[in-house]
Amino acid sequence: MPQHSRRFRPSQLVLLAATLTATTSITGLASAHADSPSWRQYVQAPSSRTVKPVAVVATTGDVTRPNGALGKGTAVLNRPAPLPRPSWPTGTTATASSHHEGNNGNDNKPRTYVPGNAIDGDIGTFWNDESAAAYPAWLQITSPAPVSLPGITVRSNSDGTPQDFTVETWDGSAWKVQATVTGNSEVQRAVAFPATVTTTQVRINVTKDQSTPKGEYTRINEVYPGLIADAPAPSITLDFGKVVVGYPRISFAGASAGNPGVRLAFSETQEFLGDRSDFSRSDYAGGPGTDQYAVPQQGGTWTDTGGCKNGTQVCADGLHGFRYLKITLDALPGDAPAAQPYGSVKINGVSLDFTALLGTPNSYTGWFESSDTKLNQYWYNASYTNELGTDTFRAGDVDMRNAFSPTLDGKLVLHDGAKRDRDPYVGDIAVSGRTTYLTHNTSIAARNVLADLADHQRNDGWIPPASIGNYTLPLFDYPMWWVTSSWDYLLYTGDTGYAQTYYPHLLKVLDNWYPSVTDTNGLLSKGLNGTKDYGDYAFLGRTGEVTYYNTLYVQALKNAAGYARSLGHTADAERWEQRAKSVSDAINAHLWDAGAGAYLDSATGPVRHGQDGNGLAVVAGVSDPVRAASALDYLAKNTARPYGNAFMDNDTLVPDGSQRVYAFTSYPEIQARFLSGQADSAIEEIKRLYGWMTEHGPGITDWEGIGAGGSLYQGAFTSAAHGWSTGVLPALTNGLLGATPTGPGFATWTIKPNPGSVSWAKGVLPTPHGPLRVDWTRDKNKNDFTLTYTAPKDTSGDVSVPVTGSAAVRLDGKIVWNGTAAVNGSGATLDNGYVTLHRVKAGTHTIKVAGGGN
């Protein structure tokens, strides 16, 4: 594996990040631990970087003492050498419905896929039909002389097996069905006939294949004339208890002579764990879907750091994100003789070298806890999901699609996910960045990515979404997420050095590129300036005036105005604020569907309404309160599913639009509900969405997307631990607990609790000045509410408390609102059920709301 001149271990980078961030955050850390030990029970991170499996969940074949893999004795996997295979008579031929053109295969060597490969006696070659999911696909074998067959054996491969097929024989005048197979998942399947048949022709008729990352093709490596009863490959499947990420390590106590091989398959879920991984980095290069190793006779400890043992043989990917690990005594045909698929292997321990941020309780600089234990768990599940993506950018495990970048090499970053994508995308950082700032002292991970993308800004102002494709992947919306994420970074860290350095990039993207894709209505219109084929967060085929793009544009402009004003660029701020107002007016004029009471997804094409645009319309302040309430009501009535709210109300954009749920687009909707005073509906949506992910799939971690019926929306390819899905964490801290920065580095802030059904909540937000603490309780029966906050020195903010009727409000025992008006010079104001105290100072203060009004 290529090595570079200098590298830091992830633990060293975390320490470096802590050193580079304001040391006052450490004050928040210490006090967080002293304040409320009960929140620690929800933390999900492993206790050390050596992570061990918790259980053996399955075995196959000849395995003794499987618990040896857990370090309890020694597990032994045995597999005898295969018996000689029967062969077809000389002169036998094969034809097929079609065959794929030749290309460079998994080993990057020229390969053919002709029907004859299925009878050549070499399991390293195979017949592959021409088109994906084209049925029926048939293979016909013709012998020059009659052959007596009790059945046949079909050998395929881990790239995908035939699932449903029939076997027919020719009786001299017609084809006769001898066997029907359904639901097959075996790579080698013996198919018995009712009685021995003598024939010169056999036909396999396939009507369904496995769908794998290699596509849904019919692949048959070999058809044997007879029944082969090989002993099943011995395997042990281990459960690590939750999704983890890092380098697998196996301790071998010994092995038989002759290089017995092991193949490792990884999966985040048991559903997609088979003879190949649910996803492996080398899938992009046609890899086998497993990591290979040849076990030496003397044994030893092998750490799967990637690379090949013998040229291009016996190769492994190295780092993986997974929950389940399947270890099989087996070898690829092309790895012989360096590794053989038989022999004996002894294992006395398996573990993982955990590479991501180790988010133990002592590492938390911010925390959250409430009377609702489910909400607490979802908050810490989200934190753990985000920790899995907080890792070092390394050439050996980043996305293979030209994502490696020397300017990121060795730096701490926020990858999209543990399994994939191992590349930091800025749209994801719009969520994962906030999760980072609120939990750990690792804001440098966000800064590294934001700065690097800005450094690769195109001459016309467009900012790339990620390093993938050498910074060329064309996405329409992600430059706006760079703007909002840069403002978030400034708000939470106060890093004015970053703000000054990248202000010219902000000007260029907002004043050069986005005006070039603005139409005569003053709206962004995808398709202008060569953007027809640009994608977005889900690579959706939307064109023209799209509500999501334009509401995000309003948010970006408003955030940019705050950024500019903090640096003293008042004219730019005022110009962007005016543009935000103009775009908002145009959205309401052209994209509001009065009949539905919601914003259209697009002004062109079939009528539909998207969660992304409607949620952001409220968050960005595009909608007035009446339209906000109407849009949120529409989403609740038309998109609610047992596992969250769908991102579209119908299937006119994508076939599963009304069933697909993204936590990424649900986050703005949940924010919007808190902002609109609909705390109970926000909590209800959180519990459907995050409750589903907690109780299904791998559990604990937050999925990239959810499909029909609550499935992983892209099957095995789906990342089940994705940072962009952690919006529940900032939603609960900023929305329910109610604390949010409003000025760079928390110089100013607001506290506005949204209790809903929650009776108490408390937490700490780390700031460059020290911890901002919030602790509130409510008594529904008495309409009483008590809030205690501690604000760090050199900061100030507005504090709002919910009131009912003529309730009085006291600050530190002194009345400031008598039920109808401000008193004692407090300057308190009443708006929409909240009394607000403005520009309150640092220190510890208690505000009490008494229902009696006296």
Closest alpha carbon to 276 in 190, 344, 185, 395: 185
**Integer Cα distance of 835 and 828 in angstroms:** 6
List the chain residues with pLDDT less than 50: 1-35, 853-854
Integer Cα distance of 484 and 490 in angstroms: 10
Residue 514 structure tokens: 């986005």
Predicted pLDDT at 107: 59
- The owner of tokens 């949204």 is 754
C-alpha closest to that of 199 among 163, 225, 160:
225
The confidence score (pLDDT) of residue 276 equals 92
For residue 2, the model assigns a pLDDT of: 31
Report d(CA 147, CA 166) in Å as an integer: 19
Give the pair of three-digit tokens for residue 807: 């309730």
Q: How far is CA 514 from CA 456, 506, 507, 518, 744, in A?
A: 17, 11, 11, 7, 25
Instruction: List the end-to-end C-alpha distance of the chain, in Å, as a whole number.
Output: 74
User: For residues 749-785, b (16+ Cβ closer than 10 Å) or e, as one string?
Assistant: bebbbbbbebeebbbbbbbbbbbbbbbbbbeeeebbb
420-444 burial, b at 16+ Cβ within 10 Å, e below that, comes to bbbbbbbbbbbbbbbbbbbbbbbbb
Q: What is the three-state SS of 735-796? A: HHHCEEECCHHHCEEEECCCCCCCCEEEEEECCCCCCEEEEEEEECCCCEEEEEEEECCCCE
- Please state, in angstroms and rounded to a whole number, the distance separating the CA atoms of residues 193 and 607: 55
CA–CA distance, 739 with 776 (Å, rounded to integer): 12
Element (H, E) at 158: none
- Nearest Cα neighbor of 612 from 682, 554, 683, 546 is 546
DSSP annotation of 724: G
Q: Which helix (H) or strand (E) holds 447?
A: helix 444-455
Handedness of CA 413, 418, 424, 428 (dihedral sign): negative
Cis omega before residue 337 (within 30°)?
A: yes
Cis omega (within 30 of 0) on the bond before 136? yes
Contact (CB, 8 A) for 238 and 72? no
Does residue 828 contact residue 769 with C-beta atoms inside 8 Å? no
Q: Which residues contact 173 (CB under 8 A, 6 or more apart)?
A: none
The two most distant CA atoms of the chain are separated, in Å, by: 108
Count CA atoms closer than 13 A to 428's CA, side-chain side.
30
